[in-house]
Structures are given as C-alpha cells and as structure tokens.
Amino acid sequence: MISSLVLVVEDDEEIASLLEKYLVRAGYRTTKASTGLTALTHVQRLQPDLILLDIGLPDIDGFD
C-alpha cells in the first residue's frame, strides 16, 4: 500500500524537521518546502494528498 504524501511548508527548519519526523513515524511520506514558490512547484509536480502550510512565509504568505 502506498502511503499518503504530505507537503510540509515551513520556513523554520527546526519546526519542519520535527513535523516531518512525526509524520514519517506515523507512516506518511513527506516532502518539505521553505518558501511559497517552492511549495507551489511541489504542489504542481507532486500533487500531495495534504499540505501543512505556514502562513508566515518569507516570499508568499500562506493566504496567497
């Protein structure tokens, strides 16, 4: 069975790594993005099942 892919969009590396650690432990596949532009690329290319999105990103905020 293929596990769901979660995109973690977070510019604080410590927080992103902690989230990724717990998600992997729970059986999810993960990928990370630290900017809004990178996140948009990942969404188009990878089509994740779930996105955990920081609203305070350095380039494009999570609301945009």
What DSSP letter does each residue of 5-61 carry, written as one string?
Answer: EEEEE-S-HHHHHHHHHHHHHTT-EEEEESSHHHHHHHHHHH--SEEEE-S--SSS-
Span 7-30, pLDDT tens digits: 999 999 999 999 999 999 999 999
- Region at 56 (left for phi over 0; alpha for psi -120 to 50; beta for the rest): beta
Span 24-62, pLDDT tens digits: 999 999 999 999 999 999 999 999 999 999 999 989 988
pTM of the model: 0.92
Tokens representing 58?
A: 């350095």
